[in-house]
Amino acid sequence: MRERLRAILLQKSVSRGRVFTLASGKTSDFYVDARVTTLDAEGAALCGNIFFRMLADYPVDAVGGYSIGADPIVAAIAVISHQQGRPLPAFIIRKEEKAHGTRRMIEGNFRSGMRVALFDDVITSGGSIIKGIRQVEAEGGKVEVVMAVLDREEGGREAIEACGCPFRPIFTKMDLL
């Protein structure tokens, strides 16, 4: 499964040659738009299966992450977990507080006291996912692990682990070069 996912990422998501500005503000000639893969039918199924297997080592009650990068990933994990008889509900962390209704920052299946896994498509500096860790903790949850499709190997792992959370990517940048 991992090798097939790698092939899809290389075919659909990896771009090289021109200069891209990353979410961290850095520039790079290596860009991975993992959403093209995580929103692909086969890519989503592979991510869901791989991440579900990786979660076997962690006691979690739910899976979540920041919208938009985590949306297809956590939905795929939720579906696979149901099919495997170990249902893990999903939630999404908003980037901004909703101005109407419940005004929640975390939407979906999250409540105080939960042990959760957080997901992202690509980790560069780790800044966004660290905000997610803090939001979950502020609302009474405990982040057991952070996982991503790709670690760009630009300090994100170290920053996440400095927050006390293990970090497990499926791939590192070197795996795709």
Consecutive 10-residue runs of the chain (177 residues): their mean pLDDT? Answer: 97 88 79 95 98 97 95 98 98 78 83 98 94 96 98 96 97 94
How much is the pTM? 0.93
The whole domain housing 149 covers 2-176
Q: Report CA 138 to chain centroid distance, whole Å.
A: 19
Q: How many residues does the chain have?
A: 177
One-letter amino acid at 8 equals I
Please give the pLDDT value at position 109: 96
Please give the pLDDT value at position 27: 82
Question: If DSSP codes are grouped into helix, strand and coil, which group holds residue 13?
Answer: helix
CB neighbours of 138 closer than 8 A, spacing ≥ 6? Answer: none
How many domains does the chain contain in total? 1
CA-based nearest residue to 93, from 136, 35, 44, 155 = 136
CB neighbours of 25 closer than 8 A, spacing ≥ 6? Answer: none
Question: DSSP per residue over 85-126, as a string?
Answer: T----EEEE-SS--SSTT--SEEES--TT-EEEEEEEEESS-
CATH number at residue 144: 3.40.50.2020
